[in-house]
Amino acid sequence: MPERFYVTTPIYYPNDRPHLGTAYATVTADALARWHRLRGDDVLFLTGVDEHGLKIARRAEEQGMTPAAWTDETAGWFTDAWAALAVTNDDFIRTTEERHIRAVQRFTQAIYDNGHIFKGEYSGWYCVACEAYYAQSELAEGASCPVHKSPVEWLVEENYFFRLSAFADRLLAWYAANPGVVVPESKRNEAVSFIRQGLADISISRTSIDWGVPVPWDPDHVVYVWYDALVNYVTAAGYGVDDETFAAWWPSVHHLVGKDILRFHGIWWPAMCMAAGIEPPRQLVVHGFLLVGGEKMSKSRLNQIDPVALAADVGVDALRYHLLREVSLGADGEFSYEGLLARYNADLANNLGNLAQRVATVVGSKCGGIGPAPRPAGQGSRLSAVAEEVVREACIAWERFAPHDALAVSWRLVRETNAELEVTEPWKMAPGPEVDAVLGDALEALRIVTILASPAVPAAAAEIWRRLGLSGAPDDPGRAARRGGGLDWGGYPGGLAVTKADPVFPRRTTTEQSLGAGKR
């Protein structure tokens, strides 16, 4: 049954260009959105930028620009990068947009009217890079930020506070009633144990800066950047302006977030929703970090990799495939250029690319370039049974937010089809029904794999599809759910002209270039 699938990435700080870590998150959300469109779901895929707050204001100042001029320029870095990586977001939100400012004010006002916001004085250690306060006990050595290891600042402010402490029981009850609300489970446990340790009220406004959304009942204050940012997820779903749209998309939302921002999404955000009188989100999908040399990418460590330069070097599909296939969602993963090329050669050049190439070649030499139809399921080759199993398992993996497993299992069909060709050696046979049967099955397996692979390698999938002589595209909305021409065996009609051309994934030598190719 088609469903509504609303998926979000965090909104990124446009203080610097996107790096491979943020590309990883965005490409993952994109693959999930693409999968759900394939299933026929109605999809809303949202990403964007988080433009307010001290971090952006200071960065703009360093550049001699106003924050508004700075983010007008840098928001474009993100839209450009995502377009270059074939990301198909349906909406791109900037927190400086009027629609968002109004939503933040409406949302905050609702919480205030419901009696969950009060005025008080706040003092504490503040990390500008995190835009977060830390308790003394949380600081790293030398009174520095536990994440950035940079000096923290002592800030004293009169603020409005959100009574987060009053939501501990409701949050725990929500976690108990919805066991799958945070995946993986280890992250759910982390959030629950954090709540059990006791929640402090949080300061949600600032008077020290004016780069933010004015608090509606006291415009000398601006809303704290995290509080402002989290609201983006409801802004884009029409909160407060279009009740019908909002009811359609909320709360069936899946927030893809990095493990470092679990506390904001797993505790603050559901409590904020409860306080504003709306349902908390359906699910948080927490991913780990991409590491370079064992460390998280960051500007201060100069280990950032520019994903657009890297894609220009290795190919967009190659980069996307590597990001999705290499690391299982939730775990940290080490990124290396050598690892990317090794996987490219193994999975894309030697497996999928080679299969497409050899099938087209043999259809050319033995069938006059016209692809024969496959045998009906269960009659002849064992590939139909393999395909059925692969499709079942890949669908399950996508549904549980495991692109890594979905692609691993999909490639089983590629390997087994290649193996079948090696055993039967159709290139040595005389043209006739036997060759037709073997090649028909191989074409059909390739057609199915092309659909399954399309969320990861959309351009190559479309190209292979075209070479098979098929009409439409492998990622036509709803194709995976279709009877005939979808993921069921037997969709390749036969009688189509199969095109042979240059390899879709040419082999690369692993010593060609170094990681420097993608490094700034």
Determine if 11 is a binding residue for ligand MSP (CB under 6 A).
yes
For residue 239, give the nearest of 272, 217, 197, 286 by alpha carbon: 272
CB 388 within 8 A of CB 448: no
User: In the stretch 49-68, what mask flags binding to ligand MSP with x, by CB under 6 A?
Assistant: -x------------------
Number of Cα atoms under 13 Å in the Cβ half of residue 167: 28
Burial category of 422 from C-beta neighbours within 10 Å (exposed 0-12, middle 13-18, buried 19 and up):
exposed
Stretch that binds ligand MSP, among 99-107, 140-148, 180-188, 289-297 (CB under 6 A): 289-297
> Closer to ligand MSP at the Cβ: 22 or 205?
22
| DSSP-derived secondary structure for 123-160 | EEEEETTTTEEE-GGG-BTTTB-TTT-SBPEEEEEEEE
Tally Cβ neighbours within 10 Å of residue 385. Answer: 13
Q: Of 91, 190, 260, 334, which lies in the binding site for ligand MSP, with binding defined by CB under 6 A? A: 260
DSSP state of 376: P
Determine if 41 is a binding residue for ligand MSP (CB under 6 A).
no
Q: How far is the CB of 378 from ligand MSP (least distance, A)?
A: 44
> Closer to ligand MSP at the Cβ: 323 or 438?
323
Q: How far is the CB of 403 from ligand MSP (least distance, A)?
A: 14
d(CA 489, CA 472): 18
User: In the stretch 195-224, what mask flags binding to ligand MSP with x, by CB under 6 A?
Assistant: ------------------------------
Determine if 21 is a binding residue for ligand MSP (CB under 6 A).
yes
| Residue 270 host element (H or E) | helix 269-276
Determine if 289 is a binding residue for ligand MSP (CB under 6 A).
yes
Stretch that binds ligand MSP, among 139-147, 172-180, 288-296, 365-373 (CB under 6 A): 288-296
Determine if 12 is a binding residue for ligand MSP (CB under 6 A).
yes
| DSSP-derived secondary structure for 462-499 | HHHHHHTT-SS-TT-TTGGG-SSSSSSTT---S-EEPP
> Closer to ligand MSP at the Cβ: 228 or 405?
228
- Widest pairwise Cα distance in the chain: 86
Within 8 A by CB and 6+ apart from 468, the residues are 371, 443, 446, 447, 450, 492, 496, 498
Residue nearest to ligand MSP (CB): 258
Stretch that binds ligand MSP, among 8-16, 153-161, 338-346, 353-361 (CB under 6 A): 8-16
> Closer to ligand MSP at the Cβ: 90 or 260?
260
Tell me the backbone φ, ψ of residue 209, rounded to 5 degrees. Answer: -130, 160
User: In the stretch 292-321, what mask flags binding to ligand MSP with x, by CB under 6 A?
Assistant: ----xx------------------------
Angle formed at CA 418 by CA 457 and CA 453, multiple of 5 degrees = 15
Stretch that binds ligand MSP, among 18-26, 100-108, 234-242, 382-390 (CB under 6 A): 18-26
Residues near ligand MSP (CB under 6 A) are: 10-13, 21-22, 24-25, 50, 229-230, 232, 257-258, 260-261, 289-290, 296-297
